[in-house]
Structure 1
C-alpha cells in the first residue's frame, strides 16, 4: 500500500480542524499553535477530545494544548529526576570499584563478565577516541596536558563523560556480585532489580530527550519490581502495570527517597496529576490507591 496523504499548509490544517468540529474563537491563536508545535505532534493528543473522529462540542485548541503541556511537564520532571539518579549512580559505582581496584578500574577486563568483553573493548576504543580528539571537558584536556601515563584519565573522570546508557551497561557487566551488591545495597534494593531500573530509566530518559509522548505509552523496556514481599515497597504492586509510566515514577521516587534527595519530584508529580482533571490517572498506570503508598505521602 502506497502512502498518498498530501502535506497540508497551516491554512489547510486550520480548515481540517474546523471541519472536524474544533471550536475556533481566535484564528491567529490556532495558527500560532500549529506553527510552533505542529499539527502532527498535536494530533497525538487530539484523540482524547474526539468521538467518532470528530471533536466533542465546545473543544478548543487550549484543551489540546493543555494536554500537550501536561506531557511536556511530565517529561521535564522525569528527565530532571533521572539526571539526579545518574549522578548518584556514577558516584556509587566509581567509589565502590576505584577503592577496590584502583584509579583505572574501568580498563581492567577481569572486573567484567566474559560476555561483556566485546562491549568493554568497544567502550574503551570509544573513550580513547574521545580523549584523543579534542575533548570538550576541561578536566580531560588538563589530564592530557599533565600526564602521559596511563594514556586514559582515571575512571572517575571517564565516568563523568559516559552516557547513562553506557553506565547502566557497565553496572550490568560487573562480574563480582559483591561489587554490584555494594552499590545496590546502598540504594536498598537487589542488584538485579537495580540493573533493570537503570536500563528502564535510560530508555525513558531517551524518550524525554527526544520529546516523545509519555502519556498512555506502553513502555518497551519495563522495570522489574521486587518479587519477595519483604522487599516490596508498594501496597498495590499486584495491580501495577509495569508497561506504564507510573511504574517508572515509583522506582524513581523510591530511589530519590533512599538518596534523601530534595528535588521536589514527589510534589511535582502529585500536583501535576491532581491539577489536571482531564488526565485519567489510570491511563498512565496509576493504581487506584496510589496516593496512599508510602513513597507518595
Structure 2
C-alpha cells in the first residue's frame, strides 16, 4: 500500500532478486548485445547494480525520462570497457592523492609545532577560531588514538602518561584526512593559514576549499564509487589559472585541476598529466566530455581530445542516476 513521504507518494519496495542468467536476459530484452562469452563471469564478480550504473550511459532517454531501452548497437563489452576505465581512473587519482595528502599533513604539522614551539599545539584552544569546535577535534583525535593499532601509538601509550594524547607529528599520521582538513580550517590566525598554503603554492582560501573537497574525493575512491560521469557536490574553488574559464563545476574536471595544481610543488604534475593522457589513449571510446572537459580546457591542458565525442551518440539525462532497475 502506498504511503506519503515528503509530500510524495512512496511505494513499498517489492522487486525480487535476479540470478545472473536473469540479469543477462533482462539486458538482452532491453536491447543490449551480449557479445562477451564471459558475461556470466563479469556479473559474478561485479554487482549488477554497480554494472548498471555504467550501463545507464547507453540508455535511450526521451524528454529526460528513462525508457529502459539501450541505444542500438550497445554491447555488453561497451559497459565493461567503461567500468574498467573508471576503475583505472580511480586508481590513478588514489595514486596521486597519496603524496598530496602526506605533503599537506607534513606542512600543517611542521609549521604549527615550530611556530608555537610546542609538540602539542592542537591542544591549545586559543589557536582555533570560536566557530571551530575545538572540543570536537580533541574528542575525534582521542577516539582515533584509542582505536589505532600503529606501533608508535602503542609505544606512546606505554611510555608516556602526559599529555594523554601524542604530539602533533604522530597525530597527523593516524587521524583521517577529513580531520586534518578541519584542523587547518579551524585555525584562528589567517597568517597561519597563509604560511601553510604558501608552502603549497596556493592561497589559504583555495587550500581550505581543496582540503575539504579532496577528503570527499579520497573517500569516493576508497569506496570504489564511480568517478566518470559523476555529479560532484563538492564546492571546489578553481585554481587561479582557470577562474575565468567556463567550466562545469560539478564534474570531474574540477578535482582533476585541483590535484594537478597541488602536484606542482611535489614535481609530479607532468607525470600525472602523462599518465592521465595515457589512460585516455588506452580507452579511446570513453567520452571525456562526461567528465567536464571541453575543447578549450583540453587544449590548454594538452589533454588527448579524440575522446571528446560521446560514445554511442548523445545521452541527455535528468540527473546522475545510479543504475538500471
* Residues 26 and 76 of structure 1, relative CA distance in 2, 3 Å threshold: closer
Q: CA deviation at 1:295?
A: 8.3
CA contact (8 A) 2:145 2:174 kept: no
Q: CA deviation at 1:241?
A: 1.6
Corresponding residue number in structure 1 for 2:109: 94
Instruction: Kindly indicate whether residue 245 of structure 2 is the aligned counterpart of residue 245 of structure 1.
Output: no
1:122 aligned residue (108, 128, 136): 136
TM-score norm. by structure 2 comes to: 0.82
User: 2:123 & 2:59 partners in 1: Cα distance?
Assistant: 56
User: 2:261 & 2:163 partners in 1: Cα distance?
Assistant: 39
Corresponding residue number in structure 1 for 2:51: 42
Larger mean CA deviation between 46-55 and 74-83 belongs to 46-55
Corresponding residue number in structure 1 for 2:23: 13
Q: CA deviation at 1:296?
A: 6.4
CA contact (8 A) 1:81 1:263 kept: no
Instruction: Kindly indicate whether residue 183 of structure 2 is the aligned counterpart of residue 170 of structure 1.
Output: yes
TM-align CA RMSD: 2.2
Q: Secondary structure at the match of 1:195?
A: helix
1:109 aligned residue (109, 125, 145): 125
* Residues 178 and 26 of structure 1, relative CA distance in 2, 3 Å threshold: closer
User: 1:220 & 1:165 partners in 2: Cα distance?
Assistant: 16
Instruction: Kindly indicate whether residue 76 of structure 2 is the aligned counterpart of residue 61 of structure 1.
Output: yes
Q: CA deviation at 1:174?
A: 0.5
Unaligned runs of 5+ in 1: 227-231
Q: CA deviation at 1:150?
A: 2.0
User: 2:143 & 2:68 partners in 1: Cα distance?
Assistant: 53
Q: Secondary structure at the match of 1:54?
A: strand
* Deviation sequence 1:168-195 (CA, Å, 0-9, x none): 1111001111110011111221101110
CA contact (8 A) 2:144 2:175 kept: no
Corresponding residue number in structure 2 for 1:272: 279
User: 1:163 & 1:257 partners in 2: Cα distance?
Assistant: 24
Alignment length (residue pairs): 287
* Residues 131 and 204 of structure 1, relative CA distance in 2, 3 Å threshold: closer
Corresponding residue number in structure 2 for 1:233: 241
Q: Which has the higher contact order (CA 8 A, sep 6+)?
A: 2
CA contact (8 A) 1:250 1:295 kept: no
User: 1:288 & 1:278 partners in 2: Cα distance?
Assistant: 17
Q: Secondary structure at the match of 1:233?
A: helix
* Residues 26 and 171 of structure 1, relative CA distance in 2, 3 Å threshold: closer
Q: CA deviation at 1:25?
A: 4.2
TM-score norm. by structure 1 comes to: 0.89
